[in-house]
Amino acid sequence: MSSDQAVAGRASAEGTSRFAQRFERLPGHFRRPDRLWLSSLGMGTRGGDPGGADDLGYRSSALHALELGCNVFDTAPFYRHQTSERALGAALLRGFGQGLARRDEVFVVSKCGYLSLDLDHPLAARGARPYLLETYIESGLLDPADLVDGAHAITPAFVRDQIRRSRHNLGLETLDLYCLEEPEVQLLEWGPTEFRVRLARAFEALEQAVADGEIGAYGISSWSGLLLPHTELGHLSLVDLFDVALEVGGPDHHLRAVILPYGPALPEALAAEAQFGPEMRTGAALEALKDTGTAVLACAPLARGRALGRLPAPVARRLGEDLTDAQRCLQFARSSAGVDCALVGMRRPEHAAE
């Protein structure tokens, strides 16, 4: 979608409150970590094959999710080679046109970190390598030395390029939240001192994107870094992350959200003493984030399907005997103190209904 066709606006306090009020039959479903009202269940778009039937499934699911009271949507350009963003963007545009929601009622999250292939590009027909080389290396966008494992980067130029790409794919002028995906990959490669320098540069690019109206806020999406003890390599310190944000953006910085795995099969966010909290006492990541005004989104509440059919009987009974395992996992995540929204893949409309 060209920039002149992009949908203007972003999620607002008034808009998200308006959306929540239409679903008063769902008490406790909406949370307000800061100014915005977010549904406690959000739609993820990670799984599946690029294009085809899964595109159609995601489009239908997004519309159904809006109808059922979901206003949080999570995606990334490296999900299904950019087709997840495009499918979600098409669905939201249709939903806005049908009156299911307005732009200011919906909270859209994307992220960057990993290189993304574009199957619509002619070079992609020759394979991933020619496309990635021309797009990211030969173009001068990235120095090969800045790539970790040949696939991960957080340089300012790359961050701004990915924001532009995501806005184009989604057809939105402004993305509500843009996250750095798994920055612990960079930490493991460069070590704490150099990583802090590189993170600060990425945050500067993100703060500029906020100032330019391209994103509303930014965050960190981490699979393991926030859950590892501070004595282990790859540990991401929340204190350090917010220190860097303060250095770069001052007291009004826009580091406003964290995405991390959490569910009955992945309880570390609440069980592992991985972070320093108030008075520098060690505690769980969710405890350290409590009362900070930071939106916390739990990903992989179903442990990417591994938890289904494997919940211990006492746990299943406690979460609800009349629920499916998927519903139990979601209820566990969304009802835990400190979690504002549980993100779950909804590749089919029946997933949204469940």
Q: Are 33 and 295 in contact (CB under 8 A)?
A: yes
- The span from the CA of 228 to the CA of 226, in Å, is 6
Domain map of the chain by residue range? 21-320
Q: In terms of DSSP bridges, do strands 107-112 and 72-74 run parallel, antiparallel, or are they unpaired?
A: parallel
Instruction: Please list, in sequence order, all residues whose beta carbon lies within 8 angstroms of the beta carbon of residue 150, skipping any fewer than 6 positions away.
Output: none
Amino acid at 168: H
In the CATH scheme, what architecture does the domain 21-320 have?
Alpha-Beta Barrel (3.20)
pLDDT of the chain, 354 residues: tens digit per residue: 544 589 999 999 999 999 999 999 988 899 999 999 999 999 999 999 999 999 999 999 999 999 999 999 999 999 999 999 999 999 999 999 999 999 999 999 999 999 999 988 999 888 899 999 999 999 999 999 999 999 999 999 999 999 999 999 999 999 999 999 999 999 999 999 999 999 999 999 999 999 999 999 999 999 999 999 999 999 999 999 999 999 999 999 999 999 999 999 999 999 999 998 767 789 999 999 988 899 999 999 998 777 777 777 787 888 887 888 899 999 999 999 999 999 999 887 776 766
- The span from the CA of 108 to the CA of 42, in Å, is 10
Task: Supply angle C-alpha 306, 309, 314, rounded to 5.
Answer: 110
